[in-house]
Each structure stands twice: as C-alpha cells, then as structure tokens.
Amino acid sequence: MKLIEDSAKLDCEVMGNPIPEVQWWFIEGEERNETGTQLFDGAREDRVHINATYINHATSTLILNNLTLNDTGVYECRASNDPNRNDLRTPPKVKWIRSQANVIVFEHAAITTKPEVVNDQNQTSATLSCNLTNPSSLIKGHYWTNNGKIIDKSESNSDELYIKHEIKKVDYHSAGLYACVFLTEPQVNATIEVKALPHVVAYKHSENANEKDKAVLTCVSHGYPLPTDWRWYKLKDDEIDKMPIVNGTDDKYEMKNTPNKTMLYVKDLDINEDMGMYQCQGTNEMGSASDKIQLRVRSQLAALWPFLGIVAEVIILITIIFIYEKRRKPDEINDDDDSGSAPLKSNAATNHKDKNVRQRNSN
C-alpha cells in the first residue's frame, strides 16, 4: 500500500538448473478474462526500472517510481528455463512459474496543520496541531517528530483524528521541522516549521598563534533554519567600530563556510596588525547572531625569553656566590690569627705560675 508519488519495490528470487529467466508482467481484469502486459526497463514514461542478476540463481527487482492511481493492480514475476520459452510457435515443455504481488495506490489523506509555520520572533511558546480527514484505513496510533526523531512521550495508540503538541519555549533548542504522523496503512504525515534566530558561538573564545604563522578562528551555529550567510569582522579597540573582512583579501584572509560552521584563516600573522578581537556573524531568514574571538599573536622571540631568563638567573646566582666568597676570606684569616695567639698567652701565664711555685718551695 502506497501513496501517490511514492515508490514501490518488488523483489523476486528464483532457483533452477539451468538458471531461469525472470520476467515482470502487469495483470489486468478478472482471472478468466485477465490480460497481461510485459514490463520492461524504462516503461511507463521511464517510471519502471528492472534490475536482474543471474549468478548461481536468478534475482530480479521491479521498482515503480512516482506512483499514480493507475499503477494499482497485480504484478507478476514469471520464471522459466525452457529453451523454447520465448518461441511463440512452439509450446514450452516447462510452463512459466508465477508469483504475484498486489500494489494499491491511495490518494494522500488531507491533514490540516495549524499553524503552517512558526516564525514570529516575539512568540515565546507555540501549540502545533494536526487534523486528519478521509484516512485510507483505521488509525492505529500517532506520534510527533522533530527533525526526524520521535519526541519523547508523544506516541499514542489512540485513533484520534486531531492531535497537538506544546512547545513551551520557542528558541534555537526547540526550533526545527516538526511532523505529525498517523499510523494508518500506509502512514500519513504533515510538517510544521518552527523557526528561530540562529545561535552562533565561537568554538574557542581565545586563540593563540605565533608571528608569521597561520591562525584559524571557528564559529558554529545551532537551530533552524541554519545561517545562509556568514561574515567576519575585525573589531577596533573600542569593540564598537568594525572592519569587514573580505574573503581572499591580498591572500591574507580565507573563509570556509558551511550552513552550521564558518572558519576564518588569517595568514602570515603580524603582531601589530592582526592581534585583537574578531567577530563572526551568521544570518538566516529570522535575523542575525554573532560572537567574538580574541586573537593573540606571540613574537618569534617568545620562545627565547624563558631561556634568557634562566641564563640571567644563573649569572646572578654566580655573581652573588662570587661576591660572598670574596668578602668572606679576610674575616676567616683574622679568625685564624686570633686562634693562634691565644695558646701562647696561656702558656706564658702557665710558665710564670710554675716559676712562682718553684720559688716558694725553695724558701
């Protein structure tokens, strides 16, 4: 069961020895009065396509594109390996074996959506609704999707013809392509666009690079619809005035844009000209949004400063040690002289005392 403008695909697989030939036929009328029309690749204004392979066994696929109500009917896969199967003058010894499939094409059921699109910047919330009329079969349930993903807690087994979905806050998080899906045979759906301003954010708000090198500044966008236009600006010191950056200017700037990302390449960095604040701006049909990136450019001698600092510290340390040792030596010499004279005085006093002792003993 398919809807108008859909596609139908039928597969047929046949085994036999030798490998059988496979044909596709369209059957019209009742069983006794039925008539068959053989289908070929490119039939029905090139809406019929047949793909067949004959390796080990026969497989064939019939594809019907852009279906119309006239495509409704019985399609038959026929197979035979009789050598005279296509000779109309000689009855085949082996009859064609057949397998059939029914294709039923329905008109699209009418689904009324309200609103058809949400695109009011001042609207903070929204209620989406779908009303199904003239369904092709019984309704076995329904659900809502956002950008192709089923919304949590939106699935239901009810046979309601009218369903709705609440969006509490309309912003880049909730913006997207919503669809209400009714579980009929075949399934039917309708879409509602919820649009919001783009959300633009810098991948890194601060970028560092060396002089003469290349810097890459990146911004990304979220929401629906995605930006259709990206622009870059170089902000002046007051961050109010800005200079537009043109892609390919003097081989200095290069921009690479996709709907959800923009990249600015700043080449041959100059520490005086290129360092500063940059702004990326994304624009969709609802408006524009932007973010800023600080670009810092290091001097080519930046890597040398730590080494020079270490050398300076070593020199200062050696100088301090040298001065300390130079001033310390005279003091040590004086201390050594004092310690050498003390024993002499002590010995003299001792000898004098001993002499007095001997004199008293003699008396």
**Cβ distance 113 to 178 under 8 Å?**
no
69-93 exposure pattern, b = at least 16 Cβ within 10 A, e = fewer = eebeeebbbbbbbbeebeeeeeeee
The per-residue pLDDT for range 186-201, each reduced to its tens digit, is 889 999 999 999 999 9
**Domains parsed from the chain with CATH numbers:** 2-86+94-106 (2.60.40.10), 110-195 (2.60.40.10), 199-298 (2.60.40.10)
pLDDT at 353: 47
Whether residue 278 has pLDDT greater than 90 = yes
The percent of residues above 70 in pLDDT, for the chain, comes to 87
Gap between the Cα atoms of 73 and 278, Å rounded: 64
The per-residue pLDDT for range 129-162, each reduced to its tens digit, is 999 998 888 999 999 999 999 999 999 999 999 9
Gap between the Cα atoms of 330 and 102, Å rounded: 117
Which three-class secondary structure state does DSSP give residue 26?
A: strand
155-189 exposure pattern, b = at least 16 Cβ within 10 A, e = fewer = eeeeeebebebebeebebebbbebbbbbbbeeebb
Specify burial of residue 297 (Cβ count, 10 A radius: 0-12, 13-18, 19+).
buried
Amino acid letter for position 222: H
Whether residue 352 has pLDDT greater than 70 = no
The full DSSP string for 163-174 is EEEEES--STTT
pLDDT at 201: 97
The full DSSP string for 189-258 is EEEEEE----EEEES-SEEEEETTS-EEEEEEEESSSPPSEEEEEEE-TTSSSEEEEPTTGGGTEEEEEE
Span 68-73, average pLDDT: 93
Gap between the Cα atoms of 287 and 172, Å rounded: 12
Task: State the pLDDT confidence band at 355, using cuts at 50, 70 and 90.
Answer: very low
Whether residue 64 has pLDDT greater than 90 = yes
Gap between the Cα atoms of 165 and 127, Å rounded: 6
Span 322-338, average pLDDT: 64
Gap between the Cα atoms of 270 and 320, Å rounded: 41
Ramachandran quadrant class, 88 (left: phi over 0; alpha: psi -120 to 50; beta: rest): alpha
**Cβ distance 14 to 79 under 8 Å?**
yes
pLDDT at 346: 46
Task: State the pLDDT confidence band at 349, using cuts at 50, 70 and 90.
Answer: very low
Alpha-carbon dihedral 308, 311, 315, 316, rounded to 10 degrees:
60
Mean pLDDT of the chain: 87
Report in angstroms the alpha-carbon separations of 126 from 130, 162, 358.
Answer: 14, 17, 128
Instruction: Name the one residue in this structure whose structure tokens are 């700037």.
Output: 253
The full DSSP string for 291-344 is EEEEEEEE-TTTTTHHHHHHHHHHHHHHHHHHHHHHHHHHHHHHHHHHHHHHHH
The per-residue pLDDT for range 85-103, each reduced to its tens digit, is 877 676 656 678 999 999 9
Whether residue 330 has pLDDT greater than 80 = no
Gap between the Cα atoms of 109 and 3, Å rounded: 9
The per-residue pLDDT for range 213-262, each reduced to its tens digit, is 999 999 999 999 999 999 999 998 888 889 999 887 778 899 999 999 99
Lowest mean pLDDT across 52-61, 78-87, 287-296 = 78-87
Span 322-334, average pLDDT: 67
Whether residue 75 has pLDDT greater than 70 = yes
